[in-house]
Amino acid sequence: MHYLTTLRRIIIAGFRNFFRNAWLSTAATAIMLVTLLIMITGIIMNIALSKEIDNITEDIGVNIYLLDEDNPRLRKQLTSQLERQENVRSIKYVSKQQALEDFNKDNQSQPEILEGLTIANNALPASLEVRVFDLNEINPIAKTAESSKYQSIVEETSYDNETEDRIKTIGSTQRFVVRGLIAAGIIFAGISILIIFNTIRMAIFTRSEEIKIMKLIGATNAYIRGPFLFEAIVYGLIAATIALAITYVSLAVLGDDIGRYVDFSTVDATFDGYWYLVVIGTYFGGVGLGLASSTLAMVKYLKLE
């Protein structure tokens, strides 16, 4: 009961501090809000672009074209040898007939292309479609397929350079954007800390006489420090709440538009499935920034010994 009463008084004093320096408090909260928004945007961009890369990577890989003289035993040996490689996601055998069917399906709208191609004179080769996890590690697959052991069944190996280039572009965009946001996040976190530090310093100076008297009449250090810590917590709570509201509204309003350019399903899924982690993380970030700044200001300006 006694501790609850004391805690209540500390909280009230913290709120009083917050409103006493209203302009500084608003500036501190605003800059913290910007910091949190940058952090959340960074996380969203990272999730969305990673998923985009994942999607494209899923569609491409190495195609191993097989000679018409099929040797099922050797083909199975090649398949199982490739399957043992860590980078291999999946292997699909596409027979000559399947290749023709796929080709027909893909070119239904252009009958002139299909005219000369029938089952009887099917020129399309059978193939092994190998999907990979990492396109940069594609060489060992090609090397295995092109080894002398499989010379009698493998015609050639190929992969789609254009798609690879696209992945590399998205990958470098992702790295650039995420690194940029991390840098901006660090800069704004620094500015937040400085502004809150300054706000708390002002509050300490404004209340210096009160603090002196509190000490003399027996207030504990925790009772004196508490309001300054709570004031910083208030900045964090308000900034985190607004940041989450802006994020929620932005995703609801702009999500579909952004979805046309990048796959946004994972962002939606992440926010749907792990919304509590996003909420906790944002509040944790805001309150953490506030507490760190306030503690720094108190270490420097609130000497209680």
Partner 1 sequence: MILFDRVTKSYNREATALSRVNLHIQPKEFVSIVGSSGAGKSTLIKLITREEAQTSGKIIVAGTDYDKLKKRNIPHIRRKIGVVFQDFKLLPNKTVFENVSFALEIVGASNKTIKHSVPRVLKLVGLSNKSDHFPAQLSGGERQRVAIARAVVRQPKILIADEPTGNLDPKHAWDIITLLLKINKYGTTVLLTTHNQDIVNALKRRVITLKDGRIIRDQEKGEYKV
List contacts with partner 1 (CB under 8 A): 1-3, 5-6, 9, 209-210, 212-221, 223, 305
* Shortest distance in whole angstroms from residue 3 CB to partner 1: 7
Alpha carbons 98 and 95: distance in angstroms, whole number? 5
Cβ proximity to partner 1, 167 vs 211, nearer residue: 211
Cβ proximity to partner 1, 9 vs 168, nearer residue: 9
Cβ proximity to partner 1, 65 vs 223, nearer residue: 223
* Shortest distance in whole angstroms from residue 292 CB to partner 1: 24
Cβ proximity to partner 1, 5 vs 109, nearer residue: 5
Alpha carbons 51 and 54: distance in angstroms, whole number? 5
* Shortest distance in whole angstroms from residue 219 CB to partner 1: 4
* Shortest distance in whole angstroms from residue 290 CB to partner 1: 24
* Cβ atoms 18, 206 nearer than 8 A: no
* Shortest distance in whole angstroms from residue 203 CB to partner 1: 14
* Shortest distance in whole angstroms from residue 235 CB to partner 1: 23
Alpha carbons 46 and 40: distance in angstroms, whole number? 10
According to DSSP, the β-strands at 61-66 and 127-132 are: antiparallel
Cβ proximity to partner 1, 4 vs 252, nearer residue: 4
* Shortest distance in whole angstroms from residue 237 CB to partner 1: 24
Cβ proximity to partner 1, 116 vs 218, nearer residue: 218
Cβ proximity to partner 1, 10 vs 91, nearer residue: 10
